[in-house]
Amino acid sequence: MRKWIIVVIILMLTSGCSLQQNDSRFIAAEVLRVVDGDTVNVQINGKEETVRLLLIDTPETVHPSKPVQPFGPEASSFVNELLNGANVQLEMDAGERDKYGRLLAYVYIDDQMVNEMLLEKGLARLAYVFEPNTKYVDDFSAIQKKAQQQRIGIWSIENYATDQGFADNEIQENRNEETVIAPEGCTIKGNINSKGEKIYHTEESPSYKVTKPEEMFCSEAEAISAGYRAVKR
């Protein structure tokens, strides 16, 4: 008799656990397509949905009125390689959709949260922090600070990632419609950022490859004499 009582108790406990899992905020989904670094299309129970990753923002790659921004392709490529065609788990917060009807979620693959991974790699910034969807805001803030200290990804470009978004590079792009021809052996790039600051970048600068030059210099002294300062590291 005691054995049957024990069996019944075990069945009740395991039944309770299953019910709790079914009532959780996690939803199984299959990724159909990666739109960009922070947006994916998924299938849930046969229905297609657009998912916006909560509390993060990656540089633009498909915006209808903005150019492709630095590290946008890297963020999109990372998410595409990680999630395209994969089975994922979506964790919802208090508010499930944004004003565009997109699902708002923390996306997991193999027990790793993609939102966090993008922040860790410097491919996203903490953004769109609106109550009540703030479950992981403190964790995300701590992760972002580490990426900022390491000056990786978006944080390798001075004054690029801000609280308001990513710096508008249209001014620089308009200035650089004509190719700047550098004298042989002159590799230092002089760039004017969106705040009008003159900054020069050597080949050792983390943002050298993505910097578009207004001028090229043969030495740091030459750049300084032209009114430029070294990029902050």
- Which residue out of 49, 52, 74, 125 is catalytically annotated? 52
117: part of which helix (H) or strand (E)? helix 114-120
Is there a catalytic annotation at residue 151? Answer: no
Is there a catalytic annotation at residue 125? Answer: no
Q: How far apart are CA 99 and CA 102, in angstroms?
A: 8
Is there a catalytic annotation at residue 102? Answer: yes
- Which residue out of 49, 60, 158, 215 is catalytically annotated? 60
What's the one-letter identity of residue 106?
A: Y
Q: Is 160 exposed, middle or buried (0-12, 13-18, 19+ CB in 10 A)?
A: buried
Q: How far apart are CA 128 and CA 30, in angstroms?
A: 25
CA distances from 34 to 25, 74, 97, 100, 108 (A): 22, 13, 18, 17, 14
- Which residue out of 25, 33, 102, 175 is catalytically annotated? 102
Active site residues: 52, 60, 102
